[in-house]
Amino acid sequence: MGCTGRASHRHPGHRRLVRVDDNRAEVRDFLTTRRARITPEQAGLHPHGSRRVPGLRRGEVADLAGVSVEYYAKLERGDLAGVSAAVLEALASALQLEDAEREHLFDLARAAVGSSLLNSRPRRRTTRTWQPSQALQWTLDAIRDAPAAVGNQRGDLLATNHLGRALYSDLYADPTGRPNFSRFTFLNPAARRFYPDWDYFADISVAMLHIEAGRNPRDPELHELVGELSTRSEEFRDRWSAHNVRIHTAGTKHYRHPVVGDLQLVYQTLDLAGEPGIAMTVYTTEPGSPSHHALQLLASWAASTHVTVDPGVQAPH
């Protein structure tokens, strides 16, 4: 698929089109879906009479944000050019946006044509040809007792230490040679086994791609990825149309590795200051826990193999 920024596909009953680079459509759909999910009661309003639309009306959002109905309607049509930070903050408050959603709204405003906020964030530069520096790889390799991985905002897996490569052996089996978490999640059947809570990982994957689409709507590699997933996965399309965004930089993830079985891994993700758009994630376990022993077993296995896993290999009982 070419990097055109468009991906069309057949869907029961109609034809739908996904565009990553259409900033106005993304703004419109994001604001509309956020408005539809808030009831008047949640906003502290006391509605009267019947309502034909879910959630808040445009006029109610405008009142809550302290702007005119005409101006809010202009914003919801996707025209964020010239919008001030104060108005964006007022909208975020009126729509009760979470931190990730608020950041996404500001990213959409920065990306809008003619935006005065465009230069308030350094541009990210991550391409498929990016390679870790020797010093970064040395840093990864120095982390011997925990999996460590480096990736970008599109979910490309760019570098690991040896234990990280063992953890993500299924991703590295991608025949394209370009391991990507979203592509693995939606297009590789092994993901359903590797992620026992597959829906959670699918939701997170799409939410992070939406955040990146707001930051870098003209990224051709992002266009290609979203286009491929939209064409080949209905479950991706359904999640993409929800316009949910989320940031997750710490927490616990549950994996089911084909060699060592269940792993409950605690993770921390750290942005690399010298590499915009690149982050390192380090995984660890509770000392003495079953996952700690499984991680030690994974380290032993990784030390004795080239880390290639047959999808048919079964985890020990």
In this predicted structure, what is the pLDDT of residue 8? 36
pLDDT, one tens digit per residue, over 135-178 is 999 999 999 999 999 999 999 999 999 999 999 999 998 877 78
Alpha helices in the chain (DSSP H): 23-36, 58-65, 69-76, 85-94, 99-111, 134-142, 162-167, 169-172, 181-187, 190-194, 198-215, 220-232, 234-242, 290-303
Percent of the chain with pLDDT over 70: 84
Report the CATH fold assignment for 134-303.
Beta-Lactamase (3.30.450)
Query: Residue 235 is encoded by which pair of tokens?
Result: 């479950």
pLDDT confidence tier of residue 20, bands split at 50, 70 and 90: low
132-136 own/partner pairs: CB under 8 Å, 24+ apart:
132/158, 132/159, 136/272, 136/275
Enter the DSSP assignment of 123: P
In this predicted structure, what is the pLDDT of residue 18? 61
In this predicted structure, what is the pLDDT of residue 81? 86
Parse the chain into domains and list their residue ranges: 20-120, 134-303
- pTM for the whole structure: 0.74
- Cα 111 from chain centroid? 18
Residue 124 has pLDDT above 70, yes or no: no
Average pLDDT for residues 239-264, to the nearest whole number?
Answer: 93
Residue 115 has pLDDT above 80, yes or no: no
In this predicted structure, what is the pLDDT of residue 175? 78
In this predicted structure, what is the pLDDT of residue 244? 92
| CATH number of the 20-120 domain | 1.10.260.40
What is the overall mean pLDDT for the chain?
Answer: 85
pLDDT, one tens digit per residue, over 39-65 is 888 988 887 767 777 899 999 999 999
pLDDT, one tens digit per residue, over 182-211 is 999 999 999 999 999 999 999 999 999 999
In this predicted structure, what is the pLDDT of residue 277? 86
Average pLDDT for residues 271-299, to the nearest whole number?
Answer: 94
Residue 118 has pLDDT above 60, yes or no: no
Query: Residue 271 is encoded by which pair of tokens?
Result: 């942005």
Q: How many residues does the chain have?
A: 317
Is the distance from CB of 141 to CB of 162 less than 8 angstroms? yes
Beta bridge partner(s), residue 8? 17
The three-class DSSP label of residue 149 is strand
Residue 68 has pLDDT above 90, yes or no: yes
pLDDT confidence tier of residue 127, bands split at 50, 70 and 90: low
Contacts of 254 (CB under 8 A, 6+ apart): 195, 196, 197, 262, 263, 264, 265
pLDDT, one tens digit per residue, over 294-316 is 999 999 998 887 654 333 334 33
